[in-house]
Amino acid sequence: MTQNRRPRVRALALALGLAVASFSPLHSPDALAREQAAAALPADIAFEEFTLPNGLRVIVHTDRKAPIVAVNIWYHVGAKNEVPGRTGFAHLFEHLMFQSSENHQGEFFTPFELVGATDQNGTTNSDRTNYFQNVPTTALDMALWMESDRMGHFLGAVTWTCWTSSAAWCRTKSARARTSPTARCSSACSRPAIPRAIPTAG
């Protein structure tokens, strides 16, 4: 076969493959209609929602399949709340709040590790900062106490050592994020939707 006929043969094979695939039962009008109908069904996830006297909005979903509880706290503060030219504070505070509080000395992770917590971390984006962990049901009261203590009694425990170590870690993480292909792609994709650049790492 000559060199210039090979692309034509490949194009013909591709066209034939696409034509055959279109007759597949997975792509029949009935299958597509069933798929669209299933996608249109509303999700029915039972939950309770209430607001505490301090203004904290609480959403509770109960699922008793396993004896664990997922605790996820969202603060509606992120990089969008920062002043241009003075960025990084949302991410810095995410890290600072993993340090001591006024009523708990030492890293926030330690008591959670002792009770067998899993998937514990925090993240910051342009809109919010969140902290999450999965704990055994017997440790729910401890998890809620730790979160409330971090929320209400954090400031008095911030030391210069804690501040400088968290700031150094955030600078390293931000520098790494700025050079990663995925962060650069994410920034380029969000630029049309966000009026000004909001740097975030977390």
Straight-line distance from the first to the last Cα atom of the chain, in angstroms, rounded to the nearest whole number? 56
β-sheet with 68-75: strand ranges across: 68-75, 129-136, 118-124
Query: Is 48 assigned a catalytic role?
Result: no
- Residues 128-143 as b or e (16 or more Cβ within 10 Å = b): bbbbebbbbeebeebb
Phi-psi region of 166 (alpha: psi -120 to 50; beta: other; left: phi over 0): alpha
* Catalytic residue selected from 48, 82, 94, 107: 94
Residue in this structure with the two tokens 């400088």, named with its chain if needed: 164
Q: Which residues carry out catalysis?
A: 94
